[in-house]
Structure 1
């Protein structure tokens, strides 16, 4: 990924010496075509990107800025790309500058629905997705046409991983999350019922019955990242979550998992298990995996 810096020497030249010392170690990373929408943003009118960046630095809690040169609009955000409550839009009229701070969590995978690329094989390093766009670290719908895989995944067992967080996004908003104990895990074992710490489903518990709760899932049916309570004939298949990976065959021809434009991320809209066919389910745009460190 190629990022551009908002050059600190330019910034320093625009301010007084008393303020320049505060800027010596400050810089921003640039992402074209993105805009963060966050509550509490401050709006200013500036003609230059550097002026917008400078105004951000005057606020201790400013984490990012949106800049639109045509409108001369500068938006000061107190949220960054992966902050809770931040929404990102893919909009070519805007440029996003964000401050690289110590990460509370790190993005390891960003999978895109309908891309035609296996999520499981991308995660396991068996396929190389198309070159990623800079905006593939955003959860905005349409910000990425492929999958993003952090190269640190290959170092997983050497990293001081504390938790693994799986999230789904639709329209830029988070619609599902699960948190797992990642200590002493590998790239597959972290996803298990015994490691589940919390989720957006109050009834999802390590003590429930599952026929599948794993990343590899039901591989012959290309159902991965699968949390399944039961099979019982396709109309009765019931679970919480499944990724339908691209496949040339299907275990339910003409029914719930035989759908186009895979991968698809299907999740229960209930606070409980539901049937996938005719049940209370929805389809997310983005799957994201994060880790936190000890």
Structure 2
């Protein structure tokens, strides 16, 4: 998890030191990361009019290209061209598109994580100043989503994998939505990921497991979706009865609105019911420190 960044950095350094002893870049014992071929002849490219963070480099084979990506903490996708050129992609700053290539020897690979069930694709810290819905859906650019304080290898309050941009081409089996408080997961929702897109995975009809006993497939809910309006996102509500009686399970307040429980000193503000069922917002709720979204392949 992102709360343990120092441990993560140490882990990466240890892995890279191990790789110096390996005869091949593909040796599975070298890297915690693994890569799979983007299926059906699709490849990832930089959108016209934008420039990549990492310049295209020469590489004698796919293994060398993979190694270039492994060395960059924020690279999760790489492409090897038939002219022995390697393009690695910055997970948040590059604006990418997915297209079919005319060349059968051009290949794009995406990151998976060895021996781990969940692959983190999105993280945002509460009160960090980042907008949630636009950043998740890639509306605008990294610089427009909030404080552009990511370095080449580390982002303290925000992370977005460009695996989100190739979602429809990935063999996603499950999606997990988690809220964290004091470094512990306090809420989770697990969704059926088969055949999903960035727009339709967050649906009550796809729920497989939930922290709340009254949130399940077929449960009545007035609103369940990514974008309720510009002020509320990832919003799950039970009843609209005015500010004093409105009830629900969670929401992310993105800016000030009419109800007192939507007005805070900093945004985004992640609130949720810490009961086993929905809560009346005016009567009480808990606040999460962070939101994390994962994929499983």
In the superposition, the TM-score normalised over structure 2's length comes to: 0.61
Give the Cα separation in 1 of the matches to 2:261 and 2:115. 43
Q: What is the rounded CA distance, in whole Å, between the counterparts of 1:7 and 1:269 in structure 2?
A: 43
Match of 1:199 in 2: 210
2:29 corresponds, among 17, 20, 26, to 26
Match of 2:226 in 1: 215
CA shift at 1:290, angstroms? 0.4
Cα distance in 1 between the residues matched to 2:162 and 2:136: 10
Q: Is 1:260 matched with 2:265? A: yes
Q: Is 2:242 the counterpart of 1:233?
A: yes
Residue 181 in structure 1 maps to residue 192 in structure 2? yes
Partners of 2:30 and 2:162 in 1: how far apart? 24
What is the RMSD computed on CA atoms of the aligned residues? 2.7
Give the structure 2 partner of residue 269 of structure 1: 274
How far, CA to CA, are the matches of 2:186 and 2:19 in structure 1? 42
Q: CA deviation at 1:108?
A: 1.0
Q: What is the alpha-carbon distance in structure 1 between the residues aligned to residue 165 and residue 233 of structure 2?
A: 20
**Per-residue deviation at 1:11?**
6.2
1:243 aligns with 2:247: no
Structure 2, unaligned runs of 5 or more: 1-8, 33-112
SS at match of 1:215: strand
Q: Could you give the per-residue CA deviations for residues 72-105 of structure 1, whole angstroms, max 9, x where no partner exists?
A: xxxxxxxxxxxxxxxxxxxxxxxxxxxx624322
Change beyond 3 A, Cα 1:10–1:210: closer
User: In the alignment, which residue of structure 1 is the partner of 2:173?
Assistant: 162
Kindly state the Cα deviation for residue 25 of structure 1 after the two structures are TM-superposed: 5.1
The answer to whether residue 122 in structure 2 is matched with residue 104 in structure 1 is no
Corresponding residue for 2:109? none
* Contact 1:188–1:216, Cα closer than 8 Å, also in 2: no
2:133 is the alignment partner of 1:126: no
State how 1:144-155 maps to structure 2 within 5 Å: 144-145=156-157, 147-155=158-166
Does the CA contact (< 8 Å) of 1:164 and 1:181 recur in 2? yes
Whole-Å Cα distance in 2 between the matches of residues 131 and 285 of structure 1? 19
**CA–CA distance in structure 1, aligned partners of residues 149 and 28 of structure 2:** 31
Which residue in 2 is equivalent to 1:286? 290
Moved over 4 A (4+): 2-5, 9-12, 133-136
Decide whether the 8 Å contact of 2:19 with 2:31 is kept in 1. no
TM-score when normalising by structure 1: 0.62
> Structure 1 residues 213 and 10, CA, compared in 2 at 3 Å: closer, same or farther?
closer
| Structure 2 CA distance for partners of 1:25 and 1:164, relative to 1, 3 Å | closer
1:116 aligned to 2:129? Answer: yes
Measure the CA separation in 1 of the matches of 2:233 and 2:281.
Answer: 15
